[in-house]
Copies of this chain bind each other. A is one copy, B any other.
Amino acid sequence: MGNTLSPAELRGAARCGEHTGNTSGLAPGFVQCNIVILPAAFAQNFLLFCQNNPKPCPLLAVSEAGHALLPSLGEIDIRSDVPAYHVFRHGKLVEEITDIGHLWQDDLVTFALGCSFSFEEALLADGLEIRNISQNSNVPMYRSNIDCTAAGPFRGKMVVSMRPFIASHAIRAIQVCTRFPAVHGAPVHLGDPGHIGIADLNTPDYGDAVTVAPNEVPLFWACGVTPQLALAQAGLPFAITHSPGCMLVTDLRSSQLAVL
């Protein structure tokens, strides 16, 4: 896909099955979302889990039960507008599909959560180098020893993503991301990875390792994989998420999420 398509055009391409892949770098300037879809019986506790853990789970929109639309994010049909979905049954991934119309139920609730693509865009716009982007790899992610605040069956450790910077750029990155609490906001940790239970930066739990130079400080952000992990561990009979990297592209501009 070219990166000149509008969010609505991109969703149209996803809707008709023409675009079924990664959305990284597409529709620059527009907010992309992590998606979680759950039966209403579990939605109240998942909503509370997001409320309790806003840094890894920044909620941008929640649908009414059975409603497949997210009007605050654009003209969206959540049954078709995500390029690819993961379907979970009893906590296990059972299939990856590009449309969930045939699985839709009257009690399904959709949660749209902020994604690190938005703050990475703000960092790049400020002239900072993002290592995973310059190395053309996935951002390294680690299961930290930071406990999330549990809600019903949803619990677990916070997953963090890591990006290294020289000190002055680390300070600037904290300032830039502070403006965007709805997309994970400021880092949760910096410096020694051991202090949050990470034994070795070179062996991430998810994504790819990146180079960290001797004069660089690692910055750690709360990561959207955290709710995915909490969801998997809860072992719900039925749940649907986006396929990693294949996000819902919305009509919200990233700058609209800036608190300042």
Contacts and interface: CB of A to CB of B under 8 A. Distances in A.
Interface of A: 167-168, 170-171, 174-175, 178, 186-192, 195, 215, 217, 260
A194 to B, nearest CB: 9
Given A191-B191, A192-B215, A195-B215, A171 B174 contact: yes
B175 A191 contact: no
Contact of A186 (B175, B191, B217): B175
Nearest to A166: B195
A175 B195 CA distance: 21
Contacts of A171: 174, 186-190
Nearest to A190: B167
Given A175-B174, A175-B178, A178-B178, A168 B191 contact: no
A189 B174 contact: no
A190 B168 CA distance: 8
Copies in the complex: 2
A193 to B, nearest CB: 10
A192 B190 CA distance: 12
A164 to B, nearest CB: 11
A189 B175 contact: no
Nearest to A260: B260
A2 to B, nearest CB: 37
Nearest to A216: B191
A212 B191 CA distance: 15
5 contacts: A167-B189, A167-B192, A168-B188, A171-B189, A175-B178
A174 B170 CA distance: 10
A195 B167 contact: yes
Contacts of A191: 167, 170, 190-191, 217
Given A168-B188, A171-B190, A190-B190, 14 more contacts: A167-B189, A167-B190, A167-B192, A170-B191, A171-B174, A171-B186, A171-B187, A171-B188, A171-B189, A174-B175, A175-B175, A175-B186, A190-B191, A195-B215
Give 9 closest A-B pairs by Cβ, nearest first. A174-B174, A167-B189, A191-B217, A167-B190, A175-B178, A167-B191, A171-B186, A195-B215, A171-B174
Given A175-B174, A178-B178, A168 B189 contact: yes
Nearest to A189: B167
A190 B169 CA distance: 10
